[in-house]
A = this chain, B = another copy of it.
Amino acid sequence: MTSFVFADLVALASLSLLPISWMRDISERLRAGEPAASLFARLVAERSVADPDRFAWVHDRAVASLDRATAGHISPLPWSDVAYPPALAAIVDPPALLWVRGSVDALAAQPVVAIVGARAASPYGLAVAERLAGDLAARGVMIVSGLARGVDSAAHRGALAGGGVTVAVLGSGADVIYPPEHAALAREMVERGAIVSEFVPGTPPNPFFFPQRNRIISGLARAVVVIEAGEKSGSLITARSALEQGRDVLAVPGNVLTGRNRGAHGLLRDGAKIVETADDILEELHLSAGVNLRGPADASEPAKAPVDAVLASLTAGEPCDLDAIAERSGLNSARLLPRLFELEVQGLVQRVGGGRFVRIDRPC
């Protein structure tokens, strides 16, 4: 799956042990082609005390994490691997390394919808989450959420009941299931989907990690559906991440008397699309409602000639890095990355090593 040698993974694992506030820079430098090992050394030297003990501590912890991953059947998936989810690669701060427990292929499923919401959900919130996830999953939509109590786990359960694929993003190591009562659900998800984390295996759950984790939930998805978010719900952080990442935000309305929906209604007030049924979500994603997306694409329709600044700036078969594409297309990275992601999903562009992209003229 990966062309990386062990040393590269150790360097990437070392990078992922650095502070989250450095991640944006790390992503940018990796994308620009800087090798992980030299980037790690440079950042530590520039921003910290570059003493040998500290390097050794991080190196040892990275190696131990990789050992633990191997023992726990967890695959470390580097940012530049072709199996790394393109939607996540397109955000400004993707994890340099994603730890995947279960099927790496599950992460390739398309399209992806995130369903998030209250931990202390009402029976109504749970029922809506389970129904929406089930209906979407039955039509081939992959459901991503956070395995939390309440809406998250209801969404995972609904997706499994709908016969679909579902992925959980944790705020702990992929082998540390929290809350503990979700152990059975997690086992089923590992068999039929995946549990992923940017935190090294064995990392205990930490409430401070959850907001940071939320950017991955939205980053994996084309759209985030919020159910029963209160006024200060963590789901609103996921919604904000989604907006920053150029993803759609949708919200399910509910009772106005309980306060349980103030956050979701606030999103509606701010322009989020209103969701009553799975069809509303499919429509927003411009996917035809009522069609099973799992069916083969219709190949009889010839593709229209692309008239697109990004495509026009690429020559088929000639890999090009972000700076060059930005210069040729005239788009800054905030607009360029989502567009490249779309083109990649459409099979018109492929990511290759060294943070470069190549145009594919005939998708196969």
Contact = CB atoms under 8 A, between A and B. Distances in A.
Interface of A: 124, 127-128, 131, 252-257, 261-262, 265, 268-269, 273-277
B265 A124 contact: no
B253 A124 contact: no
A130 to B, nearest CB: 11
Number of copies: 2
A262 B277 CA distance: 11
A268 to B, nearest CB: 5
Contacts of A275: 256
A123 to B, nearest CB: 10
9 contacts: A124-B255, A128-B256, A252-B256, A253-B256, A253-B268, A254-B256, A255-B255, A256-B276, A265-B274
Contact of A254 (B254, B262, B268): B254
A264 B124 CA distance: 18
A268 B250 CA distance: 13
A269 B124 CA distance: 21
Q: Identify the 4 closest CB pairs spanning chains A and B, nearest first.
A: A253-B253, A256-B276, A268-B274, A269-B274
Contact of A265 (B128, B253, B262): B253
A265 B254 CA distance: 10
A255 B261 CA distance: 11
A268 B270 CA distance: 12
Interface centre among A127, A128, A274 (most CB of B within 10 A): A274
Contacts of A273: 269
A127 B257 contact: yes
B256 A265 contact: no
A26 B310 CA distance: 62
Given A253-B253, A268-B274, 8 more contacts: A124-B255, A253-B274, A254-B255, A254-B256, A256-B275, A261-B276, A262-B276, A269-B273
A362 to B, nearest CB: 39
A6 B30 CA distance: 90
A354 B19 CA distance: 78
A238 B201 CA distance: 59
Contacts of A127: 257
B257 A128 contact: yes
Nearest to A131: B257
Which among A128, A256, A273, A277 has the highest number of chain B CB atoms within 10 Å?
A256
Nearest to A132: B256
A212 B254 CA distance: 31
Nearest to A264: B253
Contacts of A265: 253, 274, 276
A128, A262, A268 — most chain B CB neighbours (10 Å)? A268
A118 B124 CA distance: 21
Contacts of A257: 124, 127-128, 131
A315 B274 CA distance: 49
A131 B131 CA distance: 31
Q: Which of A128, A252, A255, A262 has the most CB of B within 10 A?
A: A255
A268 B252 CA distance: 12
